[in-house]
Chain A
Amino acid sequence: MMVRRLPPTMVLALAALYSLFPVVWLLIASTKDTGDLYGTSPFAITPDALPQFITNVERLFARDDGIYLRWLGNTLLYAAGGALGATLIAGLAGYALAWFPFRGRSTVFSVILGGVMVPPAVLAVPLFLMFGKVGAANTVWAVLLPSLVSPMGVYLARTFAESAVPADLLEAARLDGAGEVGIFFRIVVRLMSPGLTTVFLFQLVTIWNNYLLPLIMLKDSDLFPVTMGLATWQAGILQDSSLNVLVIIGSLVSTVPLIVVFASLQRFWRADLAAGSVK
């Protein structure tokens, strides 16, 4: 029995190593200062790794009156706030497309699917001009509002709604006299939670990674997400080489919130919630 577990576990372990390997590089690189960075071998750990790491972290948060912390906060706002809103909206839409037959449903779905194909670069400048006209460029909303729209999220939500919600359950709830809104929030969301979590995660990462929109919209470095902040620092290395270390340690620290999010969302990927609810 135990032996059967070994080969599959080894395969997963290999995949995990492959995934972690660059992150390990980053971890080790953030324990070095500028001189050691390219002077020593990439995976070599220097004797003063730990104190240097702490120094680097201190420098990171001290730079420019703690602008990095502000950037992290902004990213959290844009990504988590945006993803939460987007998931709710996409979940509603996906559920509607899956379980509410109405005329024009497939056309609407095709149009939404078309939205997935649009390269973000096409949207950035027109959006900027639009927000500029109402004086809302260079604000939090300029990045947050467009992030609430996730055509991909709707597609995913529809797929998960179709497979996770049993038709007889809906029938039963409706016969019991439950309101549609109530059905959605009390029953469907629970059933779809693994799917909705995937949508949330997808949109979180999409927003987190979206470089072009914040670049064009935002002027104040106070409003930057951490990706833009790091990119600005990286471009400034030519003139200020101390930024080299900050970019590396900043990159490392920026992955931490995501790890935390991933870990805490693990519990939503349990699909046995649906068991036993159909009589």
Chain B
Amino acid sequence: MKLKQVLVAVIGGLAVSIAGCGGNSASTSDSGGSPVPTRSKAGDGPVTLSFMTFNAAMKDAAALWNARHPDVQVKVEEVPAGIKGGYDKMRAAAKAGNPPDVAQLEYQVIPSFLVDGSLADISSYLPADAADRFVAWTWAQVSLAGGPAAVPLDQGPMGLLYNKKLLDKHKIAVPSTWAEFEQAARALRKADPKAYLTTFDPTDATWLAGLAWQNKAKWFETSGDAWKVSVDDSATKEVLEFWERLVKEDLVKVEPVYTPAWNADLQKGVVASWITAVWGTGTLASAAPGGSGQWSVAPMPQWRAGEKAAGNYGGSSAAVFKDSKHQKEAAEFAYWLATGAEPQELFIEKQGAYPAALSAQGLKVLEQPSKYYGTNFFPLFAEAGAHVDTTFRWGPTMIQAFNRIADAVSDATNKKGSLVAAISAAQQQIVHDIEAQGLTVG
């Protein structure tokens, strides 16, 4: 008896839901690998662009655009963050011939999408001098295959966020070189056995890259038709030797960041600083809301006194897909996201993002002091951004390469072994991976 009732209820529910869904899916632009363009010519009715992103603020940005462009409407599709499957989704969609029109891609994955062959060359849709309107290295990142395939949105120049209250309490000066950093770490451990100067996260290979980047490491290069891989070059080894020592002597806390456990450590003064990009200011403020007024910002410690080198950590672009039916409109939207005052102000205020577009770097909102950090930190990061090595390049298989690096370095860290040996092992694996793609490594 009950089974019948359940059956009726479910089938009824099914019918209602399908009716509802049917109505809904008719209004989205693509619902399957349909090869025939449905709305391709101007004047044929409003164009709908699909925009895949993992950034929640993009919805607000799209709303701003939609209000001003009734003929080109943007529909935001939220996907999980890149490493959690977002990029897999985009690539699978592109392979099926049904990609979004625009997607937010971090710089390090652009080569992978280029190798897939899924991005469009949008140079004809952008202003002729577009290349000059962006920070040089970011433009280089989006133009690897000739013309630009994406518009740089923001960048991630690195600096040091530190718990001023805690360091002052133990009379520890803010380090300006890595040697001073090591001394400060020792001093803090001595003063408070429960506290650590900073976290070392061996699982975050993008961050490790940023550290190596500061020391002018050159992980990937191209030479004619061949790739060159040197993830274990001497600059990187120097960096890893340093951190290996800190780990072995228990001077830094080893744990993944962006976790509730790390949040708790920040709040409780167990971890006293974070070497991160400009957008990390927002992350830390959310992670430790009670720390307002206690934290401050300083430049990244240097390898040689007096230098101003900085690494880059993160930063993304808005890319246009080759199979998009509306490449022109998509490119215009991407360009607006990167250079428009309104969207950029939104990202700056909400997320502490720092623009890649030169025009946006003059926005008034960048002059607001931050309540949390007691000062306006943007000039510091702007300065750092000007000293990011512009010749750093990513390789064709970064997500997998990051796995190799993170796994090797994490394993060595857990065993308190040699990080230098680990990066060399990762180097071998990465070369092998690239060759397995059918590419040549010189």
- Asked if the two chains touch in their complex, CB atoms less than 8 Å apart, one says yes
Residues of A within 8 A of B (CB): 34-35, 37-39, 73-74, 76-77, 80-81, 84, 125, 128-129, 131-140, 189, 193, 215-216, 219-223, 228, 231-232, 234-241, 243, 267-268
Given A139-B31, A220-B25, do A239 and B350 touch, yes or no (CB 8 Å)? yes
28 inter-chain pairs at a CB distance below 8 angstroms, sorted by A residue, are: A34-B289, A37-B260, A38-B260, A39-B267, A76-B13, A77-B14, A77-B17, A84-B6, A132-B96, A132-B97, A133-B33, A135-B33, A137-B32, A215-B88, A219-B30, A219-B50, A219-B77, A219-B93, A219-B100, A220-B25, A223-B25, A231-B84, A232-B78, A232-B79, A236-B55, A238-B286, A239-B56, A243-B56
The closest CB in chain B to the CB of A238 belongs to B283
Contact indicator B10/A81 (Cβ below 8 Å): yes
Contact residues in A for B54 (Cβ distance below 8 Å): 232, 235-236
Give me the 8 closest cross-chain CB pairs, A-B, nearest first: A135-B32, A241-B286, A132-B96, A235-B81, A132-B33, A235-B80, A240-B56, A236-B56
Contact indicator A38/B56 (Cβ below 8 Å): no
Contact indicator B32/A131 (Cβ below 8 Å): yes
Our pick among A81, A134, A239 for the contact of B55 (Cβ within 8 Å) is A239
B85 part of interface (Cβ distance < 8 Å): yes
- Identify which of residues 265-291 in chain B touch chain A, using a CB-to-CB cut-off of 8 Å: 267, 282-283, 286-287, 289-290
Contact indicator A215/B267 (Cβ below 8 Å): no
- Identify which of residues 55-78 in chain B touch chain A, using a CB-to-CB cut-off of 8 Å: 55-57, 77-78
Contact indicator B28/A129 (Cβ below 8 Å): no
- Of the listed residues B32, B50, B95, the one surrounded by the most CB atoms of chain A closer than 10 A to its CB is B32
- Identify which of residues 20-38 in chain B touch chain A, using a CB-to-CB cut-off of 8 Å: 21, 24-25, 28, 30-34
The closest CB in chain A to the CB of B283 belongs to A238
Task: Give A238 to B24 CA distance when docked, in angstroms.
Answer: 30
A72 to chain B, nearest CB (A): 12
Q: How many residues of B contact A (CB 8 A)?
A: 54
Given A35-B290, A81-B10, do A129 and B95 touch, yes or no (CB 8 Å)? yes
Contact residues in A for B84 (Cβ distance below 8 Å): 231, 235
Besides A137-B96, A219-B100, 6 other A-B contacts (C-beta < 8 A): A34-B289, A38-B263, A77-B13, A140-B18, A232-B79, A240-B56
Residues of B within 8 A of A (CB): 2-3, 6-7, 10, 13-14, 17-18, 21, 24-25, 28, 30-34, 50, 52, 54-57, 77-81, 84-86, 88-89, 92-93, 95-98, 100, 258, 260, 263-264, 267, 282-283, 286-287, 289-290, 350-351
The closest CB in chain A to the CB of B7 belongs to A84
Task: Give A189 to B212 CA distance when docked, in angstroms.
Answer: 66
Given A135-B31, A137-B33, do A236 and B78 touch, yes or no (CB 8 Å)? yes
Contact residues in A for B350 (Cβ distance below 8 Å): 239
Our pick among A80, A135, A219, A267 for the contact of B2 (Cβ within 8 Å) is A267
The closest CB in chain A to the CB of B81 belongs to A235
Contact indicator A220/B33 (Cβ below 8 Å): no
Contact indicator A220/B24 (Cβ below 8 Å): yes
A115 to chain B, nearest CB (A): 23
A80 to chain B, nearest CB (A): 6
The closest CB in chain B to the CB of A124 belongs to B92
Contact indicator B96/A222 (Cβ below 8 Å): no
Task: Give A11 to B84 CA distance when docked, in angstroms.
Answer: 40
Question: Interface on chain B toward A: helix, strand, loop, or mixed SS?
Answer: helix
Contact indicator B17/A239 (Cβ below 8 Å): no
Contact indicator B57/A239 (Cβ below 8 Å): yes
- Of the listed residues B28, B33, B79, B260, the one surrounded by the most CB atoms of chain A closer than 10 A to its CB is B33
Contact indicator A239/B282 (Cβ below 8 Å): yes
Contact residues in A for B78 (Cβ distance below 8 Å): 221, 232, 236
Contact indicator A132/B18 (Cβ below 8 Å): no
The closest CB in chain A to the CB of B260 belongs to A38
- Of the listed residues A35, A140, A243, the one surrounded by the most CB atoms of chain B closer than 10 A to its CB is A140
Contact indicator B92/A38 (Cβ below 8 Å): no
A251 to chain B, nearest CB (A): 13
Task: Give A208 to B31 CA distance when docked, in angstroms.
Answer: 23
B33 to chain A, nearest CB (A): 4
Contact indicator B17/A140 (Cβ below 8 Å): yes
Contact residues in B for A80 (Cβ distance below 8 Å): 10, 13
Task: Give A37 to B2 CA distance when docked, in angstroms.
Answer: 42
Our pick among B14, B77, B80 for the contact of A231 (Cβ within 8 Å) is B80
Our pick among A73, A136, A236 for the contact of B32 (Cβ within 8 Å) is A136
Contact indicator B286/A128 (Cβ below 8 Å): no
Task: Give A236 to B24 CA distance when docked, in angstroms.
Answer: 25
Contact indicator B260/A138 (Cβ below 8 Å): no
Contact indicator B286/A139 (Cβ below 8 Å): no
Task: Give A110 to B294 CA distance when docked, in angstroms.
Answer: 66
The closest CB in chain A to the CB of B58 belongs to A239
The closest CB in chain B to the CB of A219 belongs to B77
Task: Give A216 to B7 CA distance when docked, in angstroms.
Answer: 29
B346 to chain A, nearest CB (A): 12
Contact indicator A138/B25 (Cβ below 8 Å): yes
Contact indicator B92/A125 (Cβ below 8 Å): yes
Contact residues in B for A128 (Cβ distance below 8 Å): 92, 96
The closest CB in chain B to the CB of A189 belongs to B3
Task: Give A134 to B35 CA distance when docked, in angstroms.
Answer: 11
Given A135-B32, A267-B2, do A215 and B89 touch, yes or no (CB 8 Å)? yes
Our pick among B17, B28, B287 for the contact of A73 (Cβ within 8 Å) is B17
A243 to chain B, nearest CB (A): 7
Task: Give A131 to B34 CA distance when docked, in angstroms.
Answer: 11
The closest CB in chain A to the CB of B282 belongs to A239
Task: Give A139 to B10 CA distance when docked, in angstroms.
Answer: 19
Contact indicator B88/A239 (Cβ below 8 Å): no
Contact residues in B for A73 (Cβ distance below 8 Å): 17
Given A129-B95, A239-B351, do A139 and B283 touch, yes or no (CB 8 Å)? no
Task: Give A219 to B79 CA distance when docked, in angstroms.
Answer: 8
Task: Give A222 to B283 CA distance when docked, in angstroms.
Answer: 28
Contact indicator B86/A235 (Cβ below 8 Å): yes
B192 to chain A, nearest CB (A): 20
Contact residues in B for A219 (Cβ distance below 8 Å): 28, 30, 50, 52, 77, 89, 93, 100
